[in-house]
């Protein structure tokens, strides 16, 4: 038996080194051909199908699973409010402080994405591709169910985090002032600015979701680079921004009505438009355009 195994292994080694001709006429061994396949970037069709299958899996999850995961994501996104404030409190209102604050903004996203928690803006792309691929009323209803549960869980989690930081007096006075300043910085935007900046933020998150399947070992770097742009650009994200504005509300600097009308509705609409109606539609269209009639 041992001799047979050695013989098979030797034959496999011979076959791996035997040259083969690829489609361009180059001589490659099987191992070299395998290495070529391993190092090729995934095609748009592969990325589309990967994201679509993730969306199908999310649409099939039970309501309790979605709610608990969304609640955890909302709590985690609170760190995208807290980390920038800590940076500003320690380094002051300087260019370096704002740069570090932008990098700190990515902390919540890192936790959520690497822990596979449910974040609303991710689902604006992953869960919408199944609907675009097979437009059916049933799929639309499942998508709306997913969005409603995840959004509700995210907002409750973000509110709990903001309330806990404020009411339990967890931070020092300098960090509290930085948190208030961040909240005012966001609420000073007009409704149109809130919407337009939310469109760009939704686009960036959808881009991140599209890129992650082919990121391999650079996932962390990619998450930091893209999400820090949202923080550095002062863009509006419905969940991270909710934590910032709700902290302001719990501190008496804004009302709940202002949170809903001035922040939440324009930002929610912008994130959906940027992530679903623009990026997802274009990404789906390019793949459909390559399909045979």
* Residue 116 DSSP class: T
Same domain, 191 and 280: yes
Instruction: Give the number of domains in the chain.
Output: 2
Range of the domain at 99: 44-289
Same domain, 105 and 186: yes
Residue 27 — φ and ψ, nearest 5°? Answer: -85, 120
Same domain, 26 and 58: no
Same domain, 127 and 17: no
What is the three-class DSSP state of 22?
coil
Same domain, 175 and 86: yes
Question: Which residues sit opposite 20 in a β-bridge?
Answer: 28
- Answer whether 0.95 is exceeded by the pTM: no
Among residues 204, 185, 154, the alpha carbon closest in space to that of 88 is found at 185
What are the 10-residue block averages of pLDDT along the chain, 293 residues in total? 47 46 54 53 69 83 94 96 92 81 93 92 79 84 93 97 90 92 94 96 89 81 93 93 96 95 96 81 61 52
CATH at residue 176 = 1.20.1080.10
């Amino acid at each position: 038996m041992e001799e047979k195994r050695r013989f098979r292994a030797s034959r496999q080694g011979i076959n791996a080194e035997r040259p083969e001709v690829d489609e361009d006429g180059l001589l490659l061994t099987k191992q070299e051909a395998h290495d070529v396949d391993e190092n090729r970037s995934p095609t748009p069709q592969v990325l589309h199908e990967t994201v679509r299958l993730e969306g199908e899996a999310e649409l099939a999850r039970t309501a309790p699973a979605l709610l608990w995961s969304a609640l955890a994501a909302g709590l985690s996104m609170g760190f995208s409010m807290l980390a920038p404030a800590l940076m500003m409190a320690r380094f002051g209102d300087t260019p370096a402080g704002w740069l570090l604050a932008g990098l700190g903004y990515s902390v919540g996203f890192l936790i959520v994405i690497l822990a596979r928690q449910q974040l609303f803006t991710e689902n604006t792309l992953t869960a919408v591709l199944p609907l675009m691929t097979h437009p059916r009323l049933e799929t639309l209803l499942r998508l709306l169910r997913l969005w409603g549960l995840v959004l509700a869980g995210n907002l409750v989690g973000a509110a709990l985090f903001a309330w806990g930081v404020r009411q339990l007096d967890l931070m020092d006075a300098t960090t509290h002032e930085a948190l208030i300043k961040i909240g005012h910085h966001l609420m000073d935007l007009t409704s149109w600015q809130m919407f337009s900046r939310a469109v760009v933020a939704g686009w960036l998150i959808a881009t991140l979701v599209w890129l992650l399947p082919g990121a391999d070992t650079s996932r962390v770097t990619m998450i930091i680079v893209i999400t820090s742009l949202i923080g550095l650009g002062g863009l509006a994200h419905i969940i991270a921004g909710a934590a910032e504005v709700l902290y302001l509300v719990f501190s008496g600097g804004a009302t709940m009505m202002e949170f809903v009308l001035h922040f939440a509705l324009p930002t929610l609409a912008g994130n959906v438009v940027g992530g679903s109606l623009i990026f997802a539609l274009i990404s789906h269209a390019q793949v459909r355009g390559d399909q045979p009639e």
